[in-house]
Amino acid sequence: MTSTQQSESANHMLKNYVPPACPMNVFVKQYGKLQYDREQEEGFQEKRTRLGGAVIKSNLPIERHARKIYTRTMFEMFGRTLYVAGYYFVEELEPKIRYVAIHGNPESMDLWFKTKYEVVIAEDQSKYSCECGRYEHMGMICSHILKVMIILDVKKIPQAHIMKRWTLEARDVLPDHIKHYQRDMGPPDAMTFRHSAMYITKLEIVHLGDSNPEAFEYVMNGLCDLKQKAMALNLNKDGLSVIEKSKASSMTNSVGSRTSCKTMKTKRPSVSKESVSNSSRVNPIEPNFVCSSEVSSREVLLAPERRLKRGYPTTSRDKAPYEDSQKRTRFGSVCRGKGHKSTTCPQRGDLPVKPRKEPLCSNCKVSGHRKNSCSKKMVSFMEGISTFPGLSTVGVEELD
């Protein structure tokens, strides 16, 4: 998606799958197909990048760095941009601040084609901006910035110009509540980093202060001074500490448990002495209300039931109303009546039952045994052909 507006890009994708003025069930079905195709294409590109690799052409340090971070398709686009950058010349307006990239042959270009582009560098040299606006439009640096980087001997692409959606870790995007598990998120951004770091440091100080009385007195004085200074800074809270998050979660759980309380039946069952003594489960003011959170905290949570049972899968299912739940009706061959066979037909009378055909051996045509236990010689394919007078054996002799 190269559009600057995400809504236009989403509409462009959906129009290829979802027909206009379609019902909701068709939209959900086509959206599932869209998601499946996108995941299949992403998986193919990941496999193509992992197995095929990328070919380095100019052997520049910045190209080697781009090979490590970009996917194969985006590295090929980067290679084309690097090829175009080779035909530009750079003029310095301000050292390490402003540069102008000029096309090598501006006379051969059309009148509407711009041949000069100004590139501005930040003070810390961590970000480049070009007036062509290609990076702001699609997230890939342009040939003008790339040419200035080559002139300044920049060996790696700045982190501010690496869009994650074009890299090998494009799928490593997690929701906000588990965002600290992403690979590009440093330890200070983690939810429990501050708590864990201070806890480990505190244990180290305890071990140091417990060595002798002088160390104990020194550590205690330092901790008391530190506590007084920290209390003044504790007034402004950002709400990201582990204790505050646990308190907030407990508050939400308590509010949810109060709203989920259910009314018990008016007919009260017999209560034992043990249940009467347990005052925490039954509310003395309103005995007809029992909180679901209190009850569930004392119950044993079992594993969910398996959807697929052991053994062969069953063929039974819940049939639709339009399907006939009864078996197929039989018709007798004697009277063509409904609901019986010819052997149980009431109009059959003294009609003799058709005798069962006696099985014969397929080799000697004699009853009493089968082909695999026959004592006579098995007739081969070539011998069987000679028994048929109308079949010629000229071609068979030629094969021998």
Q: In which band, very low, low, confident or very high, does the pLDDT at 190 lie, cut at 50, 70 and 90?
A: low
Q: In which band, very low, low, confident or very high, does the pLDDT at 397 lie, cut at 50, 70 and 90?
A: very low
Q: What is the pLDDT of residue 200?
A: 86
The pLDDT tens digits for 289-304 are 344 444 444 456 677 7
Q: For 196, list phi and psi in degrees, rounded to 5.
A: -65, -40
Residue 290, in any domain of the structure: no
Average pLDDT over residues 315-336: 70
Residue 339, in any domain of the structure: no
Total domains, the chain: 3
Average pLDDT over residues 77-105: 91
Whether 67 and 160 map to the same domain: the answer is yes
In this model, does residue 389 exceed pLDDT 80? no
Average pLDDT of the chain, as a whole number = 75
Measured CA to CA in angstroms, residue 114 lies from 78, 88, 110, 325 at distances of 21, 12, 9, 76
Half-sphere CA count of 117, side-chain side, radius 13 A: 24
Q: What is the pLDDT of residue 14?
A: 81
Residue 321, in any domain of the structure: no
Residue 382, in any domain of the structure: no
Q: What is the pLDDT of residue 174?
A: 73
Domain that holds residue 209: 176-222
Average pLDDT over residues 232-245: 75
Cα distance between residue 238 and residue 230, in whole Å: 15
DSSP 387: T
Tokens of 89: 């010349």
Whether 70 and 143 map to the same domain: the answer is yes
Out of 122, 144, 166, pick the residue that ends a domain: 166
Residue 84, in any domain of the structure: yes
Measured CA to CA in angstroms, residue 368 lies from 112, 355, 362, 365 at distances of 100, 17, 11, 10
Q: Is the pTM of this model over 0.85?
A: no
Whether 200 and 112 map to the same domain: the answer is no
Out of 156, 188, 222, pick the residue that ends a domain: 222
Q: In which band, very low, low, confident or very high, does the pLDDT at 322 lie, cut at 50, 70 and 90?
A: low
Residue 76, in any domain of the structure: yes
Whether 180 and 147 map to the same domain: the answer is no
Between 311 and 363, where is the model more confident?
363
Average pLDDT over residues 31-41: 87
Whether 68 and 125 map to the same domain: the answer is yes
Tokens of 221: 């004085």
The pLDDT tens digits for 244-281 are 777 776 666 555 555 544 444 444 444 444 443 444 44
Measured CA to CA in angstroms, residue 125 lies from 89, 104, 159, 352 at distances of 20, 26, 11, 106
Between 133 and 283, where is the model more confident?
133
Q: In which band, very low, low, confident or very high, does the pLDDT at 177 lie, cut at 50, 70 and 90?
A: low
Whether 125 and 42 map to the same domain: the answer is no
